Amino acid sequence: MSQMTSLDTLDLSNNELSSMPILSELDSLRTLYVGLNRFQALGDALSPLRNLRTFVLKGCHQNQELIIDKESFASNLKLEVINVTKCAGLKWIPGGTFAQLPYLRFDNV
């Protein structure tokens, strides 16, 4: 991915990924789609994406647990939209997870 440093939008949806790929080279990435994969946790995989504005995780595989913790979006201070829908495996998001996101105007979780 080092050749795609100016990439603005990336759609990784429906790829059966079990973990987030390393996206640290994508400095310009503003929009990321990751629905219908097999993630169990986001962890801090999004941390390098400091210009990320939109994160969409639309759909999880049935019976697949998903964990979003306080560190998942801690470094994405420019994030404006979070859309996590159709994901029955997401049972709980810790309080304060989105508190440090000053531009977040819409979150559909």
Domain range for 33 is: 1-109
**Residue 76: what pLDDT?**
96
What is the full per-residue pLDDT of the chain (109 aa) written as tens digits?
Answer: 557 778 999 999 999 999 989 898 999 999 999 999 998 998 889 999 999 999 999 998 877 889 998 999 999 999 999 999 999 888 888 999 999 999 998 777 7
Question: Alpha-carbon distance 99 to 104, whole Å?
Answer: 9
What residues contact residue 29 under an 8 Å CB cut-off, 6+ apart? 7, 8, 9, 10, 23, 49, 51, 52
Dihedral in degrees, nearest 10, Cα atoms 52, 14, 16, 25:
-30
Residue 2 confidence (pLDDT): 58
What's the total number of domains in the chain?
1
pLDDT of residue 1: 58
CATH number at residue 13: 3.80.10.10
Nearest to 92 by CA among 68, 57, 59: 68
Amino acid present at 81: V
